[in-house]
Structure 1
Amino acid sequence: MKRLSLLLLLALLGMTPSASSFAVEEEIVVVVNQASSVRAAGRDTLRPIFQTTRTEWYGKSAVPVNLPDDSSLRQRFDKAVLGLDPEGVARYWIDRKIRGGERPPRKASSPSAVLRIVGEEAGGIGYVAAGDVNPSVKVIARIRDGQVVPP
């Protein structure tokens, strides 16, 4: 009803809304291999894994998987989990390279590639849009409105 009222008001004012006026960001889910014993993870757990300062997790080598830098899902994930915008993320990895730290997470070209890698790696962990989840993975966290929340 509110949307209809808004559309009528815009029409009376001679304005037409764009598709993005009503766009709702799809929820991001953090996923691990289906066989993992992990049930839930918060920001304080996810951040060091995706910054590769924590390489072991529940007795396995952590294998974090990122989407490409220009992915809006990646940028939303980085903001919520790392607290960094794209420029901050780039600076972080340049600094890590100079100082000889661990390499950045593995990059996957698409959400389906993230799911395939995480589904095949015992220590795999990645993120996709909620609508992309398949049975090879399980959800351990959700990102809603820029906040990491339980699954």
Structure 2
Amino acid sequence: MLLALKDLGSLFNDKRGIQDEILFSTVSDRAAMEQPKGLFVPVNKESGELLEAISNGAVAAIWYKDETLPHYIPTQFPVFFTNDLAEAMKDIITLYIEKLDGETNKHMERTNFKISNETLLNKNKQSYDIAGLLANLTSQNNHERRG
């Protein structure tokens, strides 16, 4: 199950660009990472430039509300605005986990979260390893079925 552009609409009221049906294969906090069909969330200055993220496959971005978008961003490029990028990333991950809702099909296509910001990862007690979360769900479901 992939994260969709319309899913983000429930989290962010302030947005611009097209709101077509886009499915994200990746969510990344680093512009330099390959992110095919990616959602770029620049949580800090080390995240890199939006132009680099786009060249690496980003098709949408979350952006700090008080920061001006670069002039090269086309008006149709989907951008969601927030006051706290780290909190936005946490909300996106929480929404995605809720969207999975116990789905554990091994052959199901899933959004790949590529998060490298250690502060962001350590800020929250919850794991952001989607594969690990799915493994936990699978083992919980197997235990529930046996008993």
Would you say same fold, with TM above 0.5?
A: no
Higher strand share: 1
Which of 1 and 2 has higher RCO (CA within 8 Å, sep 6+)?
1
TM-score (normalizing by structure 1): 0.31
Higher helix share: 1
TM-score (normalizing by structure 2): 0.32
Q: Which has the larger radius of gyration?
A: 1
